[in-house]
Amino acid sequence: MKAFSLEGRAALVTGSSQGIGLAVALGLHEAGARVVCHGLQERPAELPEYVSYVPCDLLDPSSPNALVERAFALQPALDILVCNAGSFFDLPPLEMTRERWDKTMQLNLTSTFFIVQAFAKRLAAEKRSGSIVITSSTNGFQGEADSCAYDASKGALVMLIRSLAVSLADHGIRVNGIAPGLIRTPLTSTWMEPRAHDLLKHYEKKILLGKVGKPDDCAGAVVFLCSDAASYVTGEIIVIDGGLTVAQIGRM
C-alpha cells in the first residue's frame, strides 16, 4: 500500500545510535526515507553506510538548534522528526540529587521541545508540512519505584505531544508519540540481566504476549505515524508494551 511508503521523505532520528532509535531509523529507511541518525559519541562502526550521522550532546543547551541545523544541511528536504533521545539517571527519591533531576529533564524533556521548535520553525518558514513522533514511555502513565525524575519527564512528554499537536496543526505539522513498555535495549539490559531469572519471569507473567519486547517492535508504529496512512492522526500516543499495562494483575 503506497500510503505506508516514505519514498521522497527525509527524517532526523535523535538517540539513534543504538536500541529503539536505531531500529526506528532503519525502519524509516526500509520504508523509503533518507535518514539522519544522532548519538552522543562519534559514529558507531556498526551503523549502516546509507544513513548520515551527527554526534551531539543534548545536555548542552545550544545543541538542539545545532543538531537540527546540521540535519537540514545533510537533508534539506527533511520533513520527519523522531525525538527518541533520553535516558535514566534516577536514585531513590530520598537520595536523588538536583544535578540528576536537572540532567533528566534537560535530556528527556527540554532538549526534545527545543529540537521540535527548531524543526517546526524551519518547516513553517518554508511553508512545508511534516510529521513529528516523540518517544515517551509507559512510565508516562504508570509510576515505577525509584524513578521519580524519569517518570515525571515521560509524563511531561505525554502532554507535550498533545500540546504541540494543537499548536502546530495550523502549520500542517502532525505530532504523535509512542509509549514503549519493557523493551530489551542496552539501557534496560543493565538492570534486567543481573536479575534475569526472577525479574524476567515476573514480567513474562505480567505481559500479555508473554515476552519482553525488541527495539524492532517499535519501528512499525513510527513508520505508520510518519506516513500518509496516518495523515488524519495527530495528538495520539501508541502504547507498545505487549499488553503490559492492559491487565490489572497478569498471569499467576
Task: Give the containing element (helix H, strand E) for 35.
Answer: strand 34-39
Where do we find the cell 523509503?
Answer: 32
By the 8 A CB rule, do 136 and 178 touch? yes
* DSSP state letter for 143: -
> Of 179, 215, 174, nearest to 80 (Cα)?
174
Sign of the Cα torsion 152, 153, 156, 158 reads negative
Where do we find the cell 520504508?
Answer: 31
Catalytic residue among 53, 150, 203, 232: 150
Q: Which one-letter amino acid corresponds to residue 81?
A: L
Q: How many helices (H) and strands (E) does the chain have?
A: 8, 7
d(CA 11, CA 68): 11
By the 8 A CB rule, do 232 and 172 touch? no
Task: Give the containing element (helix H, strand E) for 64.
Answer: helix 63-74
- What are residue 93's phi and psi, to 5 degrees? -55, -30
Concerning whether 232 is annotated as a catalytic residue, the answer is no
- Give the angle subtended at the CA of 141 by the CAs of 224 and 171, to the nearest 5°: 45
> Of 251, 34, 14, nearest to 109 (Cα)?
14
Catalytic residues: 150
